[in-house]
Amino acid sequence: MLMLSQFRNETVFETAMALSKRSPSPVGSGEKRELSDIFLPGNFDVICGKGKSCFNHQGNKNFRKIVGVYLEGYAEASSKLEKSAIVTAIIQTIRTQSPEGGFIKRELTTGLWSEVGDHLAREKVGQTIRDALHLKYRSSTKAKKKRRLAEQAKASANMTHISSTHFEVINL
């Protein structure tokens, strides 16, 4: 099993480049690979989905720790190539630690688990990085929530101002 500690003496970019050159996933960019009927998500499987059960799954917690290892290097990356190599390294690390699964999703119609393709895995990694670096990215969930709350507060303040102005006009 590949461990990140093997690369302590290398820079994050060198590590990412080394991992990104490993063999590609058995799942193509847009494809899904159905897993066996008895498959259950393990401690290194990342569940792609919404809600607390996905967020609190041990594999997703481990995933966020792995992303945290690469976060500083990603933030300091000066080119799209460097960032892409880091995203690829994170995906390869997850898939190496969980050869039976990796990035998985439960099919609503059948209830069976399938491994998602590279495209969805890259989206999952990208969103996690943006959320972790929410001060730097406007597309992070936290940044969007902060903007939405600010807009609601502003709209509420405007309504209060309009109401008080209207009240003053009526009382004249």
pLDDT tens for the chain, 172 residues: list them. Answer: 344 444 433 565 565 556 555 544 555 555 778 888 888 999 999 999 999 999 999 999 999 999 999 999 999 999 999 999 999 999 999 999 998 889 999 988 999 999 999 999 999 999 999 999 987 777 667 767 787 888 888 888 877 766 666 556 565 6
Prediction pTM value: 0.67
Q: How far is CA 48 from CA 1, 39, 124, 137, 138, in A?
A: 23, 15, 7, 21, 22
Q: Single out the residue of 63, 51, 42, 80 nearest to residue 132, CA to CA.
A: 63
Record the tokens describing residue 128, joined without a space.
Answer: 């996690």
CA distance 99 to 42: 11
